Amino acid sequence: MAAAKYDIPPKTLANKFNGKHQKKVGCSNTFTLEEEAEISKILVRCSTIGVPLGKRSLIKIVKAIAIAKGMDWAKFTNQWYRKFLRRNREVSLRMLSALSFKKCPEWTAARCEEWISLLQNLSDEGFLDNPSGIWNLDESGFRLAELYDRVYAERGVKEAVGYVKGSESDRENISLLAMGDAAGKMLRPLILYKEKMHIESHFRDTHDACYNGTYYSGVMHTDVQTDFWRKNFFRPSSVPR
């Protein structure tokens, strides 16, 4: 009666009532869960080897697979992207931490063993007994005009490492040298600008809380470090030699 009233085939109405739905004719307009799992493995693998991918790279991969399968790649919108991350919880977004590809191979297991052996010898000779005599320096380069994008990594990973081509031109903006001892004393940080001379903005609103230096390459130099240590450690003495 209802089929005749609404002009619906009885079989279609019965299937609807029983929860049976006929599959659409033609290729699917989305990926299966198995295919999405393979895409997730690609993202995790790329992050593991130091070449993490971002959203743009993911879109390119999805587009290429969709075209190869004869699918409408325009269907994969931002909504699909958000649902993809919810369905595949093994993948998460992390801020990219760029490391110099040139320097990383230099830090080998043998170098680590040499460094540990050196520290052990210094400890055996008593040089590490006084915390105020143990100093640590950390130099970091910052490119203030460039913001690193977020990339995909395996869930639970604290840092997504990406290897980049390293050279002296990497530090186009500033280098920062922080120095402190094991007793908790910190020196004023050294900020090194890639300039041949200072400009007024280098000192603006610093309130003498940091030491400013310049060098043409933007990379820390022994002359700059020596001047930094001289002004922080050595004071004029009136005692005759």
- Residue 169 confidence (pLDDT): 45
DSSP tag of 139: E
Residues linked to residue 161 through DSSP beta bridges, in sequence order: 97
The two tokens of residue 172 are: 């186009």
DSSP run (H or E) holding 36 = helix 33-48
Q: Rounded to whole angstroms, how far apart are CA atoms 196 and 212?
A: 12
The two tokens of residue 18 are: 């029983």
Cα distances (angstroms) measured from residue 51 to each of 41, 42, 54, 122, 142: 13, 11, 10, 38, 20
- Residue 121 confidence (pLDDT): 93
Cα distances (angstroms) measured from residue 48 to each of 1, 10, 162, 184, 213: 63, 56, 9, 36, 38
The two tokens of residue 24 are: 């659409």
Residues linked to residue 160 through DSSP beta bridges, in sequence order: 96
The two tokens of residue 233 are: 């450690």
Query: Residues 112, 178: contact at Cβ < 8 Å?
Result: no
The SS3 of residue 234 is coil
Q: Which amino acid is at 157?
A: V
Burial of 166: CB neighbours in 10 Å, binned 0-12, 13-18, 19+: middle
- Residue 70 confidence (pLDDT): 87
- Closest of 60, 44, 36 to residue 151, by C-alpha: 44
- Residue 2 confidence (pLDDT): 66
Looking from the CA of 33 toward its CB, the CA atoms found within 13 Å total 4
Averaged pLDDT in 10-residue chunks for the chain of 241 residues: 69 74 58 89 87 86 88 85 89 77 74 92 90 84 60 76 56 74 86 70 71 73 77 51 35
- Residue 200 confidence (pLDDT): 63
Measured over all CA atoms, what is the biggest interatomic distance in the chain, rounded to whole angstroms?
Answer: 118
Query: Residues 60, 43: contact at Cβ < 8 Å?
Result: no
